[in-house]
Structure 1
Amino acid sequence: MTAVHESVLDAIGGTPLFRLARLGAGIAAPIYAKAEFLNIGGSVKDRAALSMVLAAEREGLLAPGGTIIEATSGNTGIGLAIVGRQRGYRVIAGVSDKASAEKADILRAYGAEVVLATTSVPQEDPRHLFNVVRRLTEEIPGAWLANQYDNLANPDAHVRTTGPEVWEQTGGRVTHFVAGVGTGGTVTGTGGYLKQVSGGAVTVVGADPESSSYGGGDGSPWFVESIGHFLHPETVEDRWPQAYRSEVIDSFERIPDRESLLTARRLAREEGILAGPSSGTAVAAALRVARRLGPGDLVVVLLPDSGRSYLSKVHSDVWMREWGFLEEPGETELRAALATAGPLVTVDADATVGEALEALRGAPGAVAPVVLPRAARPYGVAAAEVLGSVSRKVLQVAIANGDVKRDDPVRPLLGPALPTFGVGQPAAEARAALMAGGQAGVVVLVDGRAAGVLTRAALLR
């Protein structure tokens, strides 16, 4: 019989499991996906949103006529908008400038007010999204900041609902639980419950972007929204969420962006599940885990949200090619040109003019991208950390005119960033951009990271 509810809030939770029979073909251990995108707001965050609002009401933090405020990459804000508007509150969502445009549109459709702010600056910077929403909370009478990262009602939602559902749906047969780690609420609550109810028998695996610092990466940017822990190199204090308990996680699977994004696309095309990129990360991790197991094991992987919020990104061939994640047969000119371009030369933003000139000695076209400084770059130069460009000619002229000295900082002399092209895009487009804009070169991206600079001469060859 079809369920009948008094409101949409009563329909949050109770999501089904689907066996990933095609992606898991040939793997002895069965893999079941927890379809959290079937929640009323399209994501697992509906559970946390309802839990946090009800807890705030019980504790007297949120009163009739109040305002709910939250910093969000989109999904928690959508959940709060649904719950908040249902219960008569004003909702303001501070949205990361990295979030897909669809999420801001969905928030507005549910009646939330959207404030866009950056997360690409140090956490202490007043422009940072977290600081913007804190100021709004202080300025608006009756405002309550949900603060999903430190709000313990977030993981509690999964202790009470998600974990018990997984245990019941598998008849207690689940042996491995795989989930992405964002605020940490989902994996902490669900994983913690499964460990407790199984007497510690369930293994909990965190699915993490390769460069995220949760799993041991350098914290540099990645392209999968809503999971991972980013660390700006100029952040003074790196704070981890209180909703996250690292002891719940037995191990991490660190997944490169390309593997995450292509797996999300495979989910849609092979399993009929249109899910977001973080679901791709989780499924890629689950496949790795399951390959090491036997038929007596059972893997449950949590799919956090719907792919309808990412039609302009992971599910767009154009976007995938622009960022170097997709290469079509026949479009190999840029990759071939990269092979002859030599190693990528960059200049740190905190370098002196003299240090920049020294670095530019080996740069094709005597021009180089200027990047945020990091002690090491094991994953290459993330496109998001390119601040601009600098050329040897500009520096030499500035020195000759007496405008700068060799030990002055180079940052004031930055020019605009060089145009970027994904490795799978037609070389003709890159040549046309150089001719039209007069730039000294273009940066070729492979998997969202700068792989090399191609000059006009190299492209014409």
Structure 2
Amino acid sequence: MWYNNILETIGNTPLVKLNNITSAIPATVLAKIETTNPGNSIKDRMAVKMIEDAEKSGVLKPGGTIIEGTSGNTGMGLAMAAIIKGYKCIFTTTDKQSKEKVDALRAFGAEVIVCPTNVDPEDPRSYYTVSSRLEREVPNSWKPNQYDNLSNSMAHYEQTGPEIWEQTEGKITHLVVGVGTGGTISGAGKYLKEQNPNIKVWGIDTYGSVFKKYKETGILDKNEIYPYITEGIGEDFLPQNVNFDVIDLFEKVTDKDAALMTREIARKEGIFAGNSAGSAIAGLLQLKDKLKPEDVVVVIFHDHGSRYMGKMYNEDWLRERGFLKDKKLTARTILAKQSNHEVVTLDCEKTITEAINVMKTLSISQLPITQQGMVVGKVTESNILESLLENPSLKSSAVREIMTASLPFVDLNTSIDKISAMINKDNSAVLVEDEQGKFGIITQYDIIEAISG
């Protein structure tokens, strides 16, 4: 048996029991592994459904251009279907999305426009607004609008919900889903509740999103909205696909807990899943006291870990955000080993002679140069020597005349590996600013000292 094209392989994803990461939960926990879809995410289902419904209604015409605001996964499903069906794609996304997602969309021949995250949905720069403007400007174009297009939830009502019901033989008691557009939880949840009204549907939200408070109070509180790192879930508006009547409760999960749990799923279950799976499991663990031993919980694992290699699966990225504090040496621990890590700097208007005297007095080989307290460059023994050999009269000139580019700055949480890689023939050290605003300097010698104990 073979399939006529890649779209026919969408769906019928496996349901896998979790054994280690959920050991504290008094219930059977099953993960719906949506990464086995050809686009590696659950969004393949609704992408094809939205296109097919648009074709039937006549709003998407042959040779047309599909324009959509997407965090990456919906775009992948749309791009894949567009290739098979002969459409072009233009996608807008936000600058918080992983580079891997953007690269994947471009690999499928789509044009991708990256927009700022930290703006209101109505702002002309937002990825929602830019996609709407392009739909008006590009001839023969169609915008699926995954947030308000009810074909999204219908795909999960027709496919995901029935699959879960059949795979659990009707034993499911709880459905747990990270909520972004709302299509998965609303569609699958509606189908499952029609089979058994006692099934609980739990939505996982993130801090900075409006869903939880709106569900509990009916108020769309703008004060709840602020930028967050977690990808794929949460929103700053109410998509029409979010059916609050189907969802019994929302649980919020922090960026840190979501990121670290994403990694734990891979390490403890051998399942390479994305950020929203980490959120969902972290949220489920927070809700574990609501569960009983006889319960059967299904958690949606939306997408694949390969889309987060530069983020949740990158230790330096985690350290830079303070999410990972392990025994690996960082700029903070290297500075702590120094008897006095505060750096001597020299104003750019001081003379080269003064720079020589400071370096001689302190037995140092380099000096960060400042202008109004800001580091703007550096001088080293070697570039002073080269300058004076060329022109001895420079001794009385301002040090800014011979300074070179500043030493690079690193965060206190930057790992020793990254610092070491930054020290080279052009940069003999790196600078660090501590919590008090004082500068520290780390040289190759400091790294050797830190490693040797």
**Fold shared per TM-score above 0.5:** yes
Paired position in structure 2 for 1:169? 167
Q: Which amino acid aligns with 1:277?
A: N
Identity of aligned residues (%): 41
Could you report, residue by residue, the CA deviation over 1:85-144 in whole angstroms, capped at 9, with x for unpaired residues?
110111111122211111111111112121222232222321111111111111111100
Is 2:235 the partner of 1:229? yes
CA distance in 1, matches of 2:418, 2:238: 45
Q: Identify the residue that residue 211 of structure 1 maps to in structure 2.
A: 208
- The yes-or-no answer on 1:101 pairing with 2:107 is no
1:62-81 aligned at under 5 Å gives the runs 62-81=60-79
Query: Contact 1:324/1:421 (CA < 8 Å) preserved in 2?
Result: no
Is the CA contact 1:324–1:422 (under 8 Å) kept in the aligned structure 2?
no
Write the distance in 2 (CA, Å) between the matches of 1:277 and 1:425: 23
Q: CA deviation at 1:393?
A: 9.0
* Paired residue secondary structure (2:212): coil
State the shift of 1:301 in Å.
Answer: 0.3
State the alpha-carbon separation in 2 of the partners of residues 165 and 27 from structure 1.
Answer: 24
* One-letter amino acid of the structure 1 residue matched with residue 183 of structure 2: G
Code of the residue aligned with 2:168 in structure 1: it is T
Cα distance in 1 between the residues matched to 2:436 and 2:431:
9
In structure 2, relative to structure 1, the CA distance for the partners of 1:320 and 1:330 (3 Å cut) is: closer
Q: Aligned partners of 1:336 and 1:292: how far apart in 2?
A: 45
- Counterpart amino acid of residue 16 in structure 1: P
Paired residues of 2:331 and 2:412 also in contact (CA < 8 A): no
**Number of residues paired by the alignment?**
366
Look up the match of 1:130.
Answer: 128
Determine the structure 2 residue equivalent to 1:21: 19
Give 1:291 shift: 4.6
Deviation at 1:424, TM superposition (A): 6.5
Q: Deviations over 1:384-411 (max 9, x none)?
A: xxxxxxxx999xxxxxxxxxxxxxxxxx
Deviation at 1:196, TM superposition (A): 1.6
Correspondent of 2:48 among 43, 47, 50: 50
Higher deviation after alignment, 291-300 or 325-334: 325-334
- The runs of 5 or more residues in structure 1 that have no matched partner are 231-238, 339-391, 395-417, 444-451
Q: Do the aligned partners of 1:31 and 1:290 also contact (CA within 8 Å) in 2?
A: no
In structure 1, the residue matched to 2:411 is 421
Conserved 8 A contact 1:279-1:302: yes
Deviation at residue 156 of structure 1 after TM alignment: 0.6
Paired with 2:274 and 2:78, the residues of 1 have a C-alpha distance of 19
Aligned-CA RMSD value:
3.2
Answering whether residue 127 of structure 2 is matched by residue 121 of structure 1, we say no
Secondary structure of the 2:411 match is strand
* 1:241-390 → structure 2 map (5 Å cutoff): 241-329=239-327, 331=329, 334=332
TM-score, normalisation: structure 1: 0.72
Separation in 1 of the partners of 2:412 and 2:432? Answer: 14
Q: Secondary structure at the match of 1:80?
A: helix
Which of 29, 38, 41 is matched with 2:39 structurally? 41
Matched to 1:64, the amino acid is: P
SS at structure 1 position matched to 2:209: coil
Once residues 330 and 411 of structure 2 are traced to their aligned partners in structure 1, the CA distance between those partners, rounded to angstroms, is 13
Q: Distance in 1 between matches of 2:5 and 2:82?
A: 13
Q: Which moved more, 1:145-154 or 1:325-334?
A: 325-334
Aligned-partner Cα distance in 1 for 2:21–2:161: 24
**C-alpha distance 454-429 of structure 1, shift in aligned 2 (>3 A):** farther
CA, structure 1 residues 190+336, in 2 after alignment: closer, same or farther (shift >3 Å)?
farther
Q: Deviations over 1:428-456 (max 9, x none)?
A: 969x99xx9xx99847xxxxxxxx55433
Aligned to 2:439: 456
Superimposed CA distance per residue, residues 32-69 of structure 1 (whole angstroms, 9 cap, x where no aligned partner)? 00001111101111011011000100111001111111
Instruction: Verify the 8 A CA contact 1:30 1:290 in the aligned structure 2.
Output: no
Counterpart amino acid of residue 327 in structure 1: K
Decide whether the 8 Å contact of 1:323 with 1:422 is kept in 2. Answer: no
After TM superposition, give the deviation of residue 427 of structure 1 in Å. 13
Q: Deviations over 1:331-353 (max 9, x none)?
A: 48749999xxxxxxxxxxxxxxx
SS of match in other structure, 1:53: helix
SS of corresponding position for 1:206: strand
Q: What secondary structure is seen at the aligned counterpart in 1 of 2:211?
A: coil
Show the counterpart of 2:147.
149
One-letter amino acid of the counterpart of residue 27, structure 2: A
8 Å CA contact 1:440–1:455 kept in 2: the answer is no
Instruction: Determine the C-alpha separation between the residues in 1 that align with 2:414 and 2:296.
Output: 38
Compute the TM-score of the two structures, normalised by the length of structure 2: 0.73
User: 1:400-411 alignment to 2 at 5 Å?
Assistant: none
Alpha-carbon distance change, 158 to 102 in structure 1, aligned in 2, over 3 angstroms: same
- Structure 1 distance, partners of 2:132, 2:112, is 15
Which of 1 and 2 has greater Rg? 2
Residue 302 of structure 1: how far off its partner (Å): 0.2
Q: Which stretch of the first structure deviates more once superposed, 94-103 or 114-123?
A: 114-123
Ranges in structure 2 where 5+ consecutive residues have no aligned partner: 214-222, 337-371, 375-407, 443-453
Contact residue 26 and residue 293 of structure 2 kept, 8 A:
yes
